[in-house]
Structure 1
């Protein structure tokens, strides 16, 4: 759904605005991911949150839940990849 993708984009943007560090932006992004648990795009964001936090074990759990391997890029590259994928789906007709 479009609303889910908008929420996912908002969570990703919070992580970037917090300079990929823990803090209030990270906390809010984490809350958004938790509130949407079980949806692959949010589980991937949840994994990214835990990578930022430095909790690799927890991140690995969320990558498995999302059905994706751990991303090998640095945090900002992973963020850009996720954001581009979500943005592309927003622009794709019939992807609602």
Structure 2
């Protein structure tokens, strides 16, 4: 359970950093708020790995890329990692202990 709580904290940190990166130009008055997608961040950090993954999935099953993977990668990064933080936080929550006394 502690692993899920740790993952929740890491995912929340990534979501916060992604939101700050997207909101910084708007706060300085340089541009407007633009939420970057997971694919946008992936292309920025590792363009060759994105292309290899995309090409590999398209070669194996083109329908999989178009119907499942691309819509997931179009989600804003802070939303995706925020959702992962909520899910892993829920999975790692402390359970209430139930005491059953049988006489």
Same fold (TM over 0.5): no
TM-score (ref. length: structure 2): 0.38
TM-score (ref. length: structure 1): 0.40
